[in-house]
Structure 1
Amino acid sequence: MKKVLLLLAKGFESFEASVFIDIIGWNLVDGDKTTELYSCGFTQEVNGSFGVKFKVDYLISEININDFDALAIPGGFEEYGFYEEAYHPQFLELIKQFDKKSKIIASICVGSLPIAKSGVLNQRIATTYNHKNGIRQEQLKAFGAILQNSPIVIDKNIITSWSPATAVNVALLLLKMLTSEENKNHIKKIMGFDV
């Protein structure tokens, strides 16, 4: 079984988290049945953006990265405190440990910023949120990443993207990397994303 860890910081964007939950879940039920998703955060209940509350499976302190095959990081809103936890040393260390073992790290929108802040995107290509005068893209570059102005960027084991609009495709790419192109296409079709 391939296990995905959904890493949630306070202020996470619920839509971006939900695509990982759904696509990995659909595969467990109607795909090749080889993927499971578990969530973690600093607290048992993580407060997301817009008043969303999410009860996680694990605390970050309980995670053994050897138990997981991939890490999924949704973005979030500064207004809801996203960077307070996304830039926490323990959050960044978890990212570093996944990369050190060449495990897949999939992020959406500003979920790429903690990856870059951790140092693992130094001199690697990546992207992030591309609106609001490009401030997030400038931050990404300041952390040492090489900005590629594309909706989705893959550099070896790391997927980054630039907005919530890319969320479904990022989750499908993660599924493809964990299983196969054929299985990814099957899930895409039965979820109605192939029209």
Structure 2
Amino acid sequence: MKRVLLFLCQGFEELEAAVFTDVLGWTRLEGDIPVEVVTAGLRPKLKCTWNMIIEPEMKFEDIQIDDYDAIAIPGGFGEAGFYEDAYDERFLKLIRDFNKQGKLIASVCVGAMPIGKSGVLKNRNATTYDLSGGHRRHQLTEMGINVLDQHIVVDENIITSTGPATGLDVAFTLLEKLTSHDNMMEIKRHMRFID
């Protein structure tokens, strides 16, 4: 069994987290390699972008990196407090530690911003949200990152994307990298994305 730490920041967007819990959750019923998802955050309760209240399963201080094969980071809205947690040094260090061990790091939309802020993307390829004047892409560029105008960018162990609509593709890409192409396709078939 593979394990993914789904890291939830204050103000995260619900849809962007749900793609990981749903796609990876299906592996526990179908396919040949199950993936367990464990939610964690810096707070005992989190208010999502659209006001849903979530309680992460695990306290931040209880995270043991060796227990996980990957970390998944949904994006969120600054107006909802996303960057309060996303740029917290404890979280940035966690990202650095995952990268140091070569573990997979997957993000949706501005979930790429803390990855960039952590320094692990310097001189590497990535993408993030492209609208609103390209503000977030400019910020990544200022962090020394080669920002590509693509919906999804995979640079070795790091997956980044442009927005909520790319979330399912990120989740399936993560699943494929964690398990196999055949397993990913089997899950897509059971979820009725393909026949």
Q: Same fold (TM over 0.5)?
A: yes
Deviations 1:136-177 (A, max 9, x none): 100111111110110000000000000111000000000001
1:26 corresponding residue in structure 2: 26
Answer yes or no: is 1:74 the counterpart of 2:78: no
Secondary structure (helix, strand or coil) at the match of 2:29 reads helix
Bigger mean CA deviation after superposition, 185-194 or 111-120: 185-194
**CA–CA distance in structure 2, aligned partners of residues 92 and 119 of structure 1:** 9
Q: CA deviation at 1:33?
A: 4.2
Determine if contact 2:9/2:82 at 8 Å carries over to the other structure.
yes
**CA–CA distance in structure 2, aligned partners of residues 131 and 102 of structure 1:** 31
Give the percent of matched residue pairs that are identical in Structure 1 and Structure 2.
47
Match for 1:9: what amino acid? C
Bigger mean CA deviation after superposition, 141-150 or 27-36: 27-36
2:138 corresponding residue in structure 1: 138
1:43 corresponding residue in structure 2: 43
Bigger mean CA deviation after superposition, 30-39 or 165-174: 30-39
**CA–CA distance in structure 2, aligned partners of residues 101 and 49 of structure 1:** 31
Determine if contact 2:115/2:121 at 8 Å carries over to the other structure.
yes
After the TM superposition, list the runs of 4 or more consecutive aligned residues in structure 1 that deviate by more than 3 angstroms. Answer: none
**CA–CA distance in structure 2, aligned partners of residues 184 and 2 of structure 1:** 13
2:56 corresponding residue in structure 1: 56
Match for 2:67: what amino acid? D
**CA–CA distance in structure 1, aligned partners of residues 169 and 64 of structure 2:** 28
Answer yes or no: is 1:116 the counterpart of 2:79: no
**CA–CA distance in structure 1, aligned partners of residues 98 and 110 of structure 2:** 18
**CA–CA distance in structure 1, aligned partners of residues 27 and 9 of structure 2:** 25
Secondary structure (helix, strand or coil) at the match of 1:50 reads coil
Unaligned ranges ≥5, structure 1: none
**CA–CA distance in structure 1, aligned partners of residues 130 and 193 of structure 2:** 24
Aligned pairs, how many? 195
Q: TM-score, normalised by structure 2?
A: 0.98
Secondary structure (helix, strand or coil) at the match of 1:129 reads coil
Answer yes or no: is 1:99 the counterpart of 2:77: no
1:10 corresponding residue in structure 2: 10
1:167 corresponding residue in structure 2: 167
Unaligned ranges ≥5, structure 2: none
Deviations 1:32-80 (A, max 9, x none): 2421000001122211111111111112121110110000000000110
**CA–CA distance in structure 1, aligned partners of residues 144 and 64 of structure 2:** 28
